[in-house]
Structures are given as structure tokens and as C-alpha cells.
Chains A and B, each alone.
Chain A
Amino acid sequence: MSDTSLTSASAKKPDAVSKKGKTPAHQLSPRAKMLRRALRHKGLLFGLFVMSIIVIVAIFAPLIATHDPYAQSLLARMKPPAFMGGTWEHPLGTDALGRDYLARLVYGARISLLIGLIAATISACIGTFMGVMAGYFGGRIDLLVTFFINVRLAMPVVLVALAVVALFGGSLYVVVSVLGLLLWDRFAVVMRAATMQVRKLEYVAAAQVLGASLPRVLFKDILPNVMNHLIVIFTLEMAHAIILEAALSFLGLGVQPPTPSWGLMISEGKEMLLFESWLITIPGVALFFLVLSINMLGDGIRDVTAPEGRN
């Protein structure tokens, strides 16, 4: 989707420029204006580019990986990657059990993205609901929500996640739900503040006077105008969830082996750190680029949707 919008817009741009400069900014629809800003934003384009590569790799994992990520071959243990003197049979080498590292990395991308997306989505739903309610109604509801936010902020995420995983046993589902239920605080805080701001505006009052029902006001007048904040927080929390999953897996309490997860790969490679450093570097670099691209994407979206908030 992102690719098609990119090409069609870049095709449009030159002819807009050729006609005596550009179409004046005030004649464009908000969406066209945003697109124009997006195309000039290098960070956003970079984030989008890296992100789409990782997403494509994750989706087409079976086509890219030549080996089964679970297939062990004890004869081919610890083969170095091709660029460190290995063979192209295993382009990124093999791990201590002789599993193909490329296959594990590619399938691991699925786990990371899945955890990031689902955990952030669950958090977004909880946090947005609480934040919008608190910001719109104020009063007691606001007090209650603020109380919940404070309680949540008083809990150290990693510790709680560790305790829950230790209680229920580690699995993909447990990790996703624990993270999803723990990362809503920032959504709630930001949505609350944004909603309070929008709620004061006169178009909300006008909608009420025109007889709009409460859900209609919320969905038509409030949500679209706080959406840009939501998207930004979503990307930040997605990156946060991915890092946390890696940390939990590294500690042995996240995704359980033999599932390929980047955190787990780093954890399994840590004993070889001094001798076979690529076992850690490869998933580490992958993780770095994924989180970086998500964060750049988020920052880019913030700049593009709300240019007045840029610093």
C-alpha cells in the first residue's frame, strides 16, 4: 500500500512543480498537503523503506529462507556467515545446533512484528478508550482514569512481566497479552490531554447543539482530531514492545525455544560472545534497524501530521 501511494504521488509532483511553481498550499486538501510534506521528510521515507523491507521479508519468509528454521544438523554447527569465510549454503551461518541462521532471522522477524503489532494494538485500545473517556467527561471519570494511570506507572513493566510469565509459563500468547496489558499508560496520558484540548473547541459544542449523539461526537469530531497523536504513540509503543519481548526472551522468560525470536537468538548466542560474535551481532543489528525504522516512522508521522508541533 505504501509503495503505490509513493509512486503515484511522486509521479504527480513534477507536473505540479512545472506549472508556475506549485499549487498554493491553501488550495490543497489536508490529505494532499500531508502527502506533500511526507515526500519531503527524509526520516519518514527512510523509516518507511526499512520497515517495508522487514515486513516484506517477514511475509515472504518461506520463499527467502532456504532451510527449515527448526531443522538441526549437528554436522554443520557454528558455520560462520558467507562474509566471514563461510559458504553460501548458509549465508548467515548456523547456530550451536546447526540451524540455518538466515532462516531463523527471517522467521524471527515474524515474531517480532507480530508481538509489536498485537501488543501495541491491545494497549492502544485500552489506553485510547480510557484517555478519551477521561478527557471528554472529566470529573470523576477523569479522577478514576488518572488513578489507574498512576497505579500502572508505579509498576515496573519488566518485573511484572517476569512475574506473570513465571506464573503462567512463557509462550508467545502470554508475552503478547502481558505486554498488551502493560503498555497502555502512554496512550491514556496522551489521549487524555489531546481529547481535553479538542473537547474545548467550538466545533464539538456545535455538533452537540446540532443534536449529534455521543458516539457520533466521539467518532466524528474527537477521534479524527487526536488520531495523529495516536499513530505516533502507537509506533513508539510498538518499538517498546519489540524491545521488551527481546529482553524477556533473552532472560529465558519470553518466547520459548525452539521458536525463532531475535531476543532468544541473542540469548542463545551469548555464551559464544567472545568466539563467534556474529551469533549476537546479526539479530542485534536486525533488532536495531527494526526499532530505529519504527521510531523514525513515528517521528516522521508526527512532523507530517502536526507540523506546528515540530521542534
Chain B
Amino acid sequence: MTDPILTIRNLTVDLPEGGDRPHAVENLSVDIAPKEIVCIVGESGSGKSITSFTTMGLLPKALKPSSGEVIFEGRDVLKLSAREHAKLRGSRMAMIFQEPMSALNPCYTVGDQIEEMFEQHTSLSKAERKARTIRLLDEVQLPDPERIYSSYPHQLSGGQRQRIVIAIALALDPALLIADEPTTALDLSTQAQILHLFKELREKHSAGIMFVTHDFDVVAEIADKVVVMKQGVIVEQGTAEEVLNRPKHPYTRKLIDAVPRRTGSVNAHMAEKHKVMEVLDLNKTYHSKGTMFKPARTVHACKDVNFIVHRGETLGIVGESGSGKSTLVKCLIRLEDPDSGSVIIDGSDIAQFTPKLLHPYRKSIQIVFQDPYGSLNPRRTIGDQLVEGPCNFGENRAHAMERAKKLMKIVRLEEDALYRYPAQFSGGQRQRICIARALMVEPEVLIADEAVSALDVSVQKEVLKLLNEIRDEMGLTVLFITHDLRVAAQICDNLVVMQNGEIVERGTVDEVFGAPKHDYTRKLLSAQPGQGWVVPDIAKLPPVDPALLESPMGAF
């Protein structure tokens, strides 16, 4: 094997006082060779981003590396001055960020932004710079490079922007490419293309790639080597084949076990077929008024949507961004008024109800939102927010509080939590609080709008399990909205696939996944990362080496 490009030895980065642990990263050692993709995996807060920032010299001021070395092309970058480091950045090492929407400057054309790299680091003439830029755009497989060259970021889609960011990173053929969750914010099919692009780049350029991610399926798709981190410490590292199929450390095993997969449990819990909600020919269009500079636009966010949900069923609604899932949800809970069609619940069509008529039916449909941080009011205690619903429907406050206490137990939180504020809870706990809040009014239908998308896999698994249990115990009906097919496959009984506001396919999970009929569904399924990887059955693996269990990191 060739010499590594990047060698990190015993790196320790201290956290400022008052943090939850003394070091952001502790005693970290990693090697990255040319033409190698090293995936750093871990849950949020595991220190994976800190590792990449340290290498790039982009650490926030409050954090200081206290020991260890980061050797890049024979030099320890920790000892470089800010100016020398800046010279390396861009030319020898480059970074790709998670959020393609904010990584580009909206004031300049993307061509200018790529050319800036040449301007900063080389002495090429203007014509040469442009030629190189066009060649780069071609290399990252953007259609019509000339047109893209003079486009502004807002004129491009998320996937195209991420390609531009990659082009900027590749401009000077760096020896090291650091990608920090580069596909997390993208749709499945875009993600598949970008991952493919990475694999190609590894072949064409001799760069080593440090790929930070939380998703084991992405790891399975592209990694050569895997580094698993937990709370700033590497718990396991090895080749991808080794770590994915024969994980040694209990933490790695737990993470791999939490990767959502089709479980194959068939609707055993659905004995009776009792219609709870029926949606008929629901339509919603958005009109944007034309101005002098742009023509008027009409978007069909929902086009003739029909479906029926039975008691005790979990219906998954899947689709990529812009498929009309969110609009559908907003129409169902009547935050938006549908243009036409009906939503029949308890025999009444609530789609066209006035707010006053609607009020009693609000109880029947409840929702858990995606963002665990935005969905709880930071200035009210949990208890206060939980009893809000019942109080709005005339229930006695003390009585509602009693029920809130019971629900806290059901969602596995302490009663004490009712007197605390949202800031004191983690994302997963907040999402459980949101579920409890929705259940307080005893709804018939619970809509989970991307309810687990923002959570770490292991937390995700717990919340999904909780949702399943609650559904079975309370006879609840769940509408599960998600872009993640794996999660949908794990929890849903029936699936509805949406594209451009229309339902293009429906059926049981086995039908849709086993024999997809529509092209779009097939495209979605084939875009899934990590298809070649069969998740090992953790129970059948050899027992954990006792030495690992004894170390403090092994225990939970």
C-alpha cells in the first residue's frame, strides 16, 4: 500500500469547560491513503465533524487541539500558521459541506465561484481559467456546462449545487478531500448520483477522501475503510467489509442493528377492517402571481389524491422533496384549505368545514412534526403544553394533568419531565414528548410527518418501536410520511408513493418493494444506497470480546 496522505496521530481536542465531556475528540488516530475513501461514522455529537474541521483548520475558536499531530504531506498542519494553512486549503485539501443551499454565495455566478479558486491559487489567464472551469463542470456531470457557468446558485437544484461544491473542491486537484455529510440533505436519487460521482472521482483523481456520515448504508455503498466514533473516541476501525459484516465492538453492533430494514412482519395487528379516514379526489394548487419579470406559475401540489386508511393500519406516504407530501399533510390537518375533494372522518367531510365546525374534529387528527427543536414552545413547560390540547376542548386542567402523567410513562419519560422546559431534553426525548402531546386528545389518526428523519439511527429505532407499540395498544391509525424508504418498509403496512402531487403507486409493503409497477418507484428503489450489503444478524455474530465490554466505552 502507498504511503498515507493524511496521518492523524493521537489527536485530542478539548471542549470548553462546562461541556458534557472534557474532550471533543480523544486520542484519535486515522490514516488516509490516496485513492481511498475512509468513512467516519457516528451519531450526532460523536466528534466526527470536529475531526474534519481540525484537519481543515476550521475549528471554532473555543476549541483547541491539545495534543497529537495531523500530518499532511509530511507537515503537521496543527503547527502551521493561519496563513500557511489557508494556502493549503483549497489547493491541497478541500472540503465539501452538508448544506448545498448555503455553501454557495448567492451574489455570484457559480462560474465565478469556481474560477475564484484558480484566481487565488494559480496565475492562469482568464481564458484558461474559464476553460478549466468548464472542464470541471463537465467532470461533475452537469448538463450544459456553458449555461451552468453563468447561472446563479438559486437557479440550480440541490443536487446540482452539491455538484458545484464538489467542482470547487476538485478545482486544484487536491490530495485530500473532506466531505462532511455531503448527501444528507439530498433526495435519494440525487444522493445515489452523488455517491456514484464520488466513486468515479476516486478512480480518476489520486485524492484520499475522508467521508463523514451517519448512515451505514452510505458507508456500505462507498467506503474502503470505516472508522466508528462514539463520544469523541474511535471504538472500531477496519476495512468496510470487516466492520460492516463482522462488527466487533458492541456499539458498532448496536448501530448496525438499528439500520432500518424490511422486517417482513405482515399486518397481524389488523384484524378488523374499519374505515377511519377516507380521502377523495383531494386537490390543491398554488398560484404565484406573475410580475413584470417572471410569468405567473401554477403548481399542482396535490392532484386527485385518493386513499383510505383503516383502523390500526400504518399507511406510509413516500416521495422525494416536492412530491406534495407536505401539502397533503397540511390539507389533512387543515392548516391549508384544499381546493376541492373531501377528507371524510367519522362520516363527516371536514375538507370544507369552517373553523368553527372544524374545531371538534381537530381532536381526531393529530400530528408529530419533523423538527424536534421547532415543535415545542421553548417558553412553556412540557406539562403546560401537554394539557393545552385537552383544555382547548373543555377538559379540566387537573384531570388532563393526570393523563399527561400516564402518557409520560407510556412514552418512557419521567413524570418529573412535565415540570421542565424543552431545552432540557434531547431530540429523541422531544419527539417522544411530541407524540405524547398528540396523544393527549386521544386522536383517531396520528400523522407522523418525517417524525424520525432528524434523529440518529439508534434513537430512530426506539421512536419507531414506541410508535408501533402505541398503535397496537391504543388501536391508533398512523399516517407515516417519509422520504426514507427503509424506514417506511420497517414500520408501514401499506404504502402510497407520490410524485409531483400524484399517487403513482400503492399497495402493501411487499407489493411495492417486491414488484414495483411504476417507473418512479423502481427508480427510487434502485437509488437506495447499500443494496449490496446484507445487514448481519447481530445475534448470530460471535460474542463480544470481553475486553471491549470492560472498557468504559463498551458499557451503556
Asked if A and B bind, the verdict is yes
Chain A positions within 8 Å of B, measured between CB atoms, are 21-22, 24-30, 33, 201-203, 205-213, 216, 220-221, 224-225
Residue B359 at the A interface, CB < 8 A? yes
A30 and B377 in contact (CB under 8 A), knowing A208-B335, A209-B362, A210-B388? no
A-B contact pairs, 15 of them (CB 8 A): A21-B17, A24-B18, A25-B18, A30-B379, A33-B423, A202-B370, A203-B374, A205-B367, A205-B369, A206-B369, A206-B375, A207-B388, A210-B362, A220-B388, A225-B378
Question: In the bound complex, how far is the Cα of B377 from the Cα of A225, in angstroms?
Answer: 8
Q: A77 to nearest B CB, angstroms? A: 58
A210 adjacent to B437 (CB under 8 Å): yes
Q: 8 Å CB contacts to A: which residues of B351-370?
A: 359, 362-363, 365-367, 369-370
B379 adjacent to A21 (CB under 8 Å): no
A209 adjacent to B333 (CB under 8 Å): yes
A30 adjacent to B421 (CB under 8 Å): yes
The contact of B424 among A22, A26, A213, by CB within 8 Å, is A26
B389 adjacent to A22 (CB under 8 Å): no
A210 and B420 in contact (CB under 8 A), knowing A203-B375, A203-B376, A224-B380? no
Inter-chain contacts of A213 with B (CB < 8 A): 392
B380 adjacent to A220 (CB under 8 Å): yes
Inter-chain contacts of A29 with B (CB < 8 A): 420-421, 424
A210 and B441 in contact (CB under 8 A), knowing A26-B423, A30-B421? yes
Question: In the bound complex, how far is the Cα of B18 from the Cα of A29, in angstroms?
Answer: 16
Shortest beta-carbon contacts, A-B, top 9: A210-B389, A202-B375, A202-B369, A211-B362, A211-B392, A224-B379, A203-B377, A201-B374, A202-B374
Known: A24-B18, A210-B388. 10 other contacts (CB 8 A): A21-B17, A26-B423, A29-B420, A30-B378, A202-B370, A202-B371, A202-B374, A209-B362, A209-B367, A210-B362
A22 adjacent to B359 (CB under 8 Å): no
Minimum CB distance partner of A33 in chain B: B423
Q: A227 to nearest B CB, angstroms? A: 8
Q: B328 to nearest A CB, angstroms? A: 15
Question: In the bound complex, how far is the Cα of B376 from the Cα of A303, in angstroms?
Answer: 23
Q: 8 Å CB contacts to A: which residues of B319-370?
A: 333, 335, 359, 362-363, 365-367, 369-370
A205 adjacent to B335 (CB under 8 Å): yes
Mask: chain B, 370-395; 1 = CB below 8 Å from A; 0 = not: 11001111111000010011001100
Question: In the bound complex, how far is the Cα of B363 from the Cα of A207, in angstroms?
Answer: 12
Inter-chain contacts of B333 with A (CB < 8 A): 205, 209
Inter-chain contacts of B440 with A (CB < 8 A): 210
Inter-chain contacts of B380 with A (CB < 8 A): 220, 224
Question: In the bound complex, how far is the Cα of B362 from the Cα of A208, in angstroms?
Answer: 9
Question: In the bound complex, how far is the Cα of B420 from the Cα of A34, in angstroms?
Answer: 15
A27 adjacent to B424 (CB under 8 Å): yes
Question: In the bound complex, how far is the Cα of B20 from the Cα of A26, in angstroms?
Answer: 10
B377 adjacent to A220 (CB under 8 Å): yes
Residue B434 at the A interface, CB < 8 A? yes
A211 and B18 in contact (CB under 8 A), knowing A201-B374, A225-B377? no
A211 and B363 in contact (CB under 8 A), knowing A24-B20, A202-B374? yes
Inter-chain contacts of B388 with A (CB < 8 A): 207, 210, 212, 220
Inter-chain contacts of B370 with A (CB < 8 A): 202
Minimum CB distance partner of A29 in chain B: B421
Mask: chain B, 406-435; 1 = CB below 8 Å from A; 0 = not: 000000000000001101100000000010
A209 adjacent to B365 (CB under 8 Å): yes
Q: A136 to nearest B CB, angstroms? A: 14
Inter-chain contacts of A224 with B (CB < 8 A): 377, 379-380
B335 adjacent to A211 (CB under 8 Å): no
Inter-chain contacts of B18 with A (CB < 8 A): 21-22, 24-25
Inter-chain contacts of A24 with B (CB < 8 A): 18, 20
Question: In the bound complex, how far is the Cα of B251 from the Cα of A14, in angstroms?
Answer: 40
Question: In the bound complex, how far is the Cα of B371 from the Cα of A206, in angstroms?
Answer: 12
Q: B196 to nearest A CB, angstroms? A: 34
Question: In the bound complex, how far is the Cα of B421 from the Cα of A26, in angstroms?
Answer: 10
Question: In the bound complex, how far is the Cα of B186 from the Cα of A38, in angstroms?
Answer: 42
B365 adjacent to A212 (CB under 8 Å): no
Question: In the bound complex, how far is the Cα of B380 from the Cα of A22, in angstroms?
Answer: 24
The interface centre, meaning the residue of A201, A206, A220 with most chain B CB atoms within 10 A of its CB, is A206
B420 adjacent to A206 (CB under 8 Å): no
Q: A206 to nearest B CB, angstroms? A: 6
The interface centre, meaning the residue of A22, A26, A202 with most chain B CB atoms within 10 A of its CB, is A202
Question: In the bound complex, how far is the Cα of B391 from the Cα of A213, in angstroms?
Answer: 11
Inter-chain contacts of A26 with B (CB < 8 A): 423-424
B379 adjacent to A216 (CB under 8 Å): no
Inter-chain contacts of B437 with A (CB < 8 A): 206, 210
B392 adjacent to A212 (CB under 8 Å): yes
B335 adjacent to A209 (CB under 8 Å): yes
Minimum CB distance partner of B426 in chain A: A26
Q: B550 to nearest A CB, angstroms? A: 26
Inter-chain contacts of B366 with A (CB < 8 A): 209-210
Question: In the bound complex, how far is the Cα of B363 from the Cα of A21, in angstroms?
Answer: 47
Minimum CB distance partner of A224 in chain B: B379
Q: A210 to nearest B CB, angstroms? A: 4
Minimum CB distance partner of A32 in chain B: B421
Question: In the bound complex, how far is the Cα of B144 from the Cα of A103, in angstroms?
Answer: 81
Question: In the bound complex, how far is the Cα of B370 from the Cα of A206, in angstroms?
Answer: 12
Question: In the bound complex, how far is the Cα of B389 from the Cα of A220, in angstroms?
Answer: 13
The interface centre, meaning the residue of B333, B362, B370, B388 with most chain A CB atoms within 10 A of its CB, is B388
Q: B135 to nearest A CB, angstroms? A: 42
Mask: chain B, 1-25; 1 = CB below 8 Å from A; 0 = not: 0000000000000000110100000
Question: In the bound complex, how far is the Cα of B420 from the Cα of A216, in angstroms?
Answer: 21
Mask: chain B, 148-183; 1 = CB below 8 Å from A; 0 = not: 000000000000000000000000000000000000
Inter-chain contacts of A210 with B (CB < 8 A): 362, 366, 388-389, 392, 437, 440-441
